[in-house]
Amino acid sequence: MKARRHFYSEKLAEGKAILAPMAGFTDAPFRKLCRDFGSSWAVTEMVSAKGMVLGDLKGIEIGEPYPNEPDLVIQVFGGEPELVAAGGAKLYELYRPSALDLNMGCPVKKITGKSCGSKLMQDPDRAAAIVRALSEAVPIPVSAKMRLGYDEMNVLEVAKAVEEAGASVIAVHGRTAAQKYSGEANWEAIKTVADSLKIPVIGSGDVSTRAQFERYRSWGLGVMVARAALGQPWFFAELLGKASPSQEEKAKIAYQHALLHLNWYEAISPEREKHLMMQFRGQLLRYFAFLPDAKPSLIKIASLADLQTFLLEWFALDVTGMTSNDLKRQSLNSF
């Protein structure tokens, strides 16, 4: 019997939005912030099943869970049923997640070129075989996140095959892989999928307002948030009716994120701190998008002290007393 086999239905009943997996963004610090602001759960960035089987830990770095991460859902990708099942089993052994999610939506060539990600939309039988093998390999629910199709829409055929194979939930991004992120997400198509399946369906794509969130929820859909949460993890609280933070509060949250980032990725030397802060500049630009004139200052930030100076100059905020050691990575030496 599956452990907490009703995980997805229980969480969806809470009526909160879900943080979608995003390559390069949904690491432990960002997931923690989004959970703190009310995300129902947060899906990790995709982890290679093959990498897990071969013992290549490089691929787990951004998808790695933080200790005691609640309602952990790890997304896995792969193109062969046996390999995905073995990789999923290893992830379960290491982290005991609440559920595993199969990536069937990534449109990036380095993924689709390996017959993974959205390429699975062209082969419903193979997608179903992967979901079936993964479901049999772990004692937890398995879901799948897909697109409307690869180059043309066939989501209903694929979704039914995956449902029959044992998926507990299906998430649908309202574009084909060929569209990538252009045009508008087709939520009417997502609703058609939901009306045709017995299992819950979660929609994803272009959710940026509370009105959209409430509309899609009224259709009986779960709602995933992706790009709208970047640089504003408080968006999940706003969707639940909370007031938007002030600019000063946003600045403090950005600083908190920077602290979590440095702590998680272990800024153990000035050189390492510089590398990590330069890596974090993209996040800062998103946090302070409401200050376009600040961009020249932001792209020069190369240390925590630089960020402290920026906040003092632009917001009269003294954050030097703020600390964070909330996140510590687990040792995988025994892997």
In this structure, the strands spanning 72-77 and 99-104 are parallel
Six token digits for residue 33: 């912030």
**Residue 106 among the catalytic residues:** yes
In whole angstroms, what is the distance from residue 22 CA to residue 25 CA? Answer: 5
Rg of the Cα atoms in the chain: 20
Q: Tell me the C-alpha to C-alpha distance, in Å, between residue 6 and each of 143, 200, 235.
A: 12, 11, 27
Query: CA separation (Å) from 44 to 71, 101, 194, 264?
Result: 11, 9, 24, 15
DSSP 149: B
Point out the catalytic residue in the list 106, 169, 221, 229.
106
Angle at 46 between CA 41 and CA 49, to 5 degrees: 125
Note whether 10 and 40 are within 8 A (CB): no
- What are the residue numbers of the active site? 106
